[in-house]
Every structure is written in C-alpha cells, then in structure tokens.
Amino acid sequence: MSPHVPQGPAVGLSQADFERVRSMIHRHAGIALGPSKKTMVHSRLSRRLRVLGRSDFAGYLDELERRGSEQPEWQEFVNALTTNLTAFFREAHHFPVLAQHLRQRAAHTPMQIWCCAASTGEEPYSIAMTARDAFGSQAMPPVSILATDIDTAVLEQARQGVYPIDAVAKLDPGLLRRHFLRGRGARDGLVRLRPELGAMITFRQLNLLQPRWPLQTRFDAIFCRNVMIYFDKPTQAQLLQRLAQRLKPDGLLFVGHSENFTRARELFELQGKTVYRLARAAR
C-alpha cells in the first residue's frame, strides 16, 4: 500500500454495491468486470475511500451517480478500476512487422500511428524506438504517435518517460544504449527515455467508448492491444467498426494475442499473427 494512503477501518462492499460498480464502469468505460472481481474492486475502491476519508461505499456511489460522469471524482473512480499491465516490446513479434510497414510506406510521409490503450507508456515508446530504428540515418523519423488511454494517472506516468531499471532488464543492450539514459545519484535504479522519443508522442486522454473521438486523421497503423479483452462482445464489435473507419486503406491494426475477432471478417483480414488490414470491402 502506498505511504500516501491513509489507514482507516476496513469497509465492507455489499453485493448490491459491487453490482452497481460493475454496471457503472461498464456503462462508462465498457469494462465488463466479472462476478469474481469483487475482492479486487473492494481493495481498489477502499483505497480511494480512505484517501477521501469516507467509509461508505453506497454514499460514494450515490454521489457519483447523482453528479454525473463530468465531475472529477468519476476519473478517480475509473483510474482505480482499470488494469494497466504492460511492458516494453510486449508481444515482440509485432515490432519487426511495424518496422517493415513503416519503411514500405516511407513515401507517404508523414505517417501517423495511434496507440489507443497506452497505459504507462511502454507500448508507445516501443513504437517510437521501432520507428527511429527503422529510419536509422534520419535525425527524426517521419512518424508521429498519438498515445491515448482512459486512465489519466497512467498517462501522467507515461509522459514522464521514467521507469525502474528492472523494466528494461530483458531488452537488447544496443537498444538500451540507443534509447535510454541511466539515472544517477537520487535517480539511481531508474532509466529515462531519450527526449527525442518523447517528442514523437502526443499523450492524451480518450475513452474508447465516448461517442465522438476528437481525431483529425486516419492512421497508418493502430495499436489496440490487450484492451478489448475487458469489453463484452457487442462493445468489441462496435469498437472494431469504429477503428476500421480510422485506419487508412492500407494501414495495419495490431491487437493482443487473445483478441482474435473472427466475427469482424467483413471489416478486417488477417495480415500476420494478430495483425490485420482492412478487408477489401471496408477500404
């Protein structure tokens, strides 16, 4: 437990309140929390209640519902309930595919990539490193990355670009040298991404469920990895429909290893392992 979270009496989460939480987060963020997640919800929201000095879940949920999702506490509620597990070069087979795609498309510059569940930043920085290495001789690759997530706390961490050294322990030493700076003194045990990588990325909050995405462009590639697993089938289907509209005709969609969507065959065709391109009829 973080030292900043005040201790307080443990508060029980009734089944009825758990059901309310499930319904609220599903409506707002599309996250379908299974019935087995009660302990997780209890522990995460208890922390939030302690920070607020409150001891009643029902009153907290009443207030959230009464004041509507525009009020700031809703963001804290959402931040508490998201699962943000990620890693540098997770599902590593995607990155050589991306590098090749970018090189082939170099004539279409500038290129834009959307990383739509960016979490703490390891994924968009992996994309940026891949792009820099793909255009090795250029000072600045012709690629910009939009990194979004519903969770504002993880985006703040992502913007910092600072990670414990353990997070990069398995990366290739050459890649580490090219893209990371080692912390010294008070920052010993930490690494920081080189500023050129940060300069390629715009971090912004975006809920994939919000009715309008404030996006100006279609993308050369979209990374939508390990987020659809939290959504139910109708939400996944709607999201895929919207992602298809955001992809350039010859763009690529990268998804997580357990996110195959055979039901969206009219939209996407398989290009490689968990990499899709628009089906001809959808271009």
Q: Which residues contact ligand SAM by CB under 6 A? A: 29-31, 82-86, 90, 117, 119, 123, 149-151, 154, 207-209, 225-227, 230, 256
Q: Which residues contact 102 (CB under 8 A, 6 or more apart)?
A: 111, 130, 131, 134, 135, 141, 143, 220, 221
Shortest CB 184 distance to ligand SAM, Å: 29
User: CB of residue 83 vs ligand SAM: minimum separation in angstroms?
Assistant: 5
Closer residue to ligand SAM, CB minimum distance, 61 or 229: 229
Q: Which of 44, 48, 90, 246 is catalytic?
A: 44
Which C-beta is closer to ligand SAM: that of 228 or that of 244? 228
Closest approach of Cβ 53 to ligand SAM, in Å? 26
Which CB sits closer to ligand SAM, 53 or 147?
Answer: 147
Is residue 47 among the annotated active site residues?
A: no
Least Å from the CB of residue 232 to ligand SAM: 12
Please indicate whether residue 44 is annotated as part of the active site: yes
Asked if residue 247 lies in contact with residue 218, where contact means CB atoms within 8 angstroms, the answer is yes
For ligand SAM, the closer of residues 112 and 119 by Cβ is: 119
Q: What's the CA angle centered on 269, arms 266 and 270, to 5 degrees? A: 150
Q: What is the DSSP string of 82-112?
A: ------TTSSTTHHHHHHHHHHHTGGG-SEE
- Residue 86 or 236: the one with the smaller Cβ distance to ligand SAM is 86
- How many whole angstroms separate alpha carbon 68 and alpha carbon 84? 25
| Catalytic residue (one of 17, 22, 50, 149) | 149
Q: How far is the CB of 189 from ligand SAM (least distance, A)?
A: 23
User: Phi/psi class of residue 91: alpha, beta or left (left: φ > 0; alpha: ψ in -120 to 50)?
Assistant: left
Nearest to 116 by CA among 209, 216, 34: 209
Catalytic residue list = 44, 149
